[in-house]
Amino acid sequence: MYGQTNCFVKPDGEYGVFEMANGDLFVISERSARNFAFQEMTKEEKKYPSLATVRGDSLMGLKVKAPLTKYEFVHVLPLPTISMTKGTGVVTSVPSDSPDDWAMLRDLQQKKGLREKLNVEESWVAGFDPIPIIEIPGMGDLSACAACDEFKVTSHKDANPLALAKKKCYDEGFYKGKMIIGLGEGKPVQEVKPLVKEHMIKEGSACQYYEPEKEVVSRTGDNCIVALCDQWLLNYGEDQWRDLVMGHVVSDNFQTYNPKTQKEFELILNWLKEWGCSRTTGLGTLLPWDNQFVIESLSDSTIYMAYYTIAHLLQGG
């Protein structure tokens, strides 16, 4: 957020205008509006009528307010590679640490022919230079620029070099990077992300949004969403329980077949917090304190292993 220099939309993308519960109007993809509708965000729960439709190219050049950046405003610019089935279809651009963003911004700044082809005026990109926000050992404070040079990215169309540059920036930035600006100045990036998120939500410049990590299609052929539902969770991350288990796992009384398995145990113990233990459909034992739920059954792979031990008795061999 601190490094925003512009906002990207898909030029030929179809966006809708959707009213939220607080009266705000969101310009987003229909797919994301559908997710929002089941997360108690839209004006009417589980409904998301579009008040208007907008093509991405009609938004080009608009001045928009980008929270936390040093620029008073930034412009809406085209990015043809945006996917309308991921996120909202509207992308904040942080060229200091995102190779994709830097490659596109650099092309628009330096290539007059590309600007003319995409109907971009020079004033929309001139002077909006990358803002140093994260210091990464060995990569400096403009990691995207360094990575694009390292992997010889010459255009926003260089898909393979950009993928390598992106992976390096994101891995190095998240695990080794330190913020040099804003709320978390001097702190590791992975510690700062939740602080900035909480701050933006509290001041009303952001809201929470959930969607599947990738496309998920049900057996009925429907695209799945993330819905806000009642759910009972087991708190595996409770400090006393976790510390007791971790103490055993790292002791001489616990040995795994190989070091990789040992690392997986430690990683998951530190990561696992709440885990769903109930559901509203299917066979199962009723949850003792809430009979509208059944206890989540074991996975098929576990049931099979148990069943095979008695299958010959039930099926006559």
Q: Per-residue pLDDT tens for 136-155?
A: 999 999 999 999 999 999 99
% of the chain beyond a pLDDT of 90: 77
pLDDT at 246 over 80: yes
**Rounded Cα gap, residues 141 and 165, in angstroms:** 15
pLDDT at position 303 is 63
- pLDDT at position 230: 86
pLDDT tens string 265-309: 999 998 888 888 888 888 878 888 999 998 887 655 666 777 888
* 219 CB burial (10 A radius; 0-12, 13-18, 19+): exposed
Question: What is residue 302's predicted lDDT score, i.e. its pLDDT?
Answer: 63
- What is residue 296's predicted lDDT score, i.e. its pLDDT? 80
pLDDT digits (tens, 9 = 90+) for 5-63: 999 999 999 999 999 999 999 999 999 999 999 999 999 999 999 999 999 999 999 99
> Over pLDDT 70: what percentage of the chain?
98
pLDDT at residue 31, rounded to an integer: 95
Q: Boundaries of CATH 3.90.740.10 in the chain?
A: 6-203
Q: State in words which class domain 6-203 has.
A: alpha beta
How much is the mean pLDDT over the chain? Answer: 92
Give the β-pairing of 274-276 and 286-287.
Answer: unpaired
For residue 68, how many other CB atoms are within 10 A of its CB? Answer: 18
Distance (Å, rounded) from C-alpha 129 to C-alpha 97? 12
DSSP strand E in the chain: where? 6-9, 14-19, 25-28, 52-55, 63-64, 74-78, 90-93, 134-135, 178-179, 233-235, 274-276, 278-279, 286-287, 290-295
DSSP 46-102: T----SEEEEGGGGTT-EE--TT-SSS-EEEEE-TT--TTSTTSEEEE-TTT-HHHH
Average pLDDT on 77-102 reads: 94
Contacts of 237 (CB under 8 A, 6+ apart): 272, 273, 274
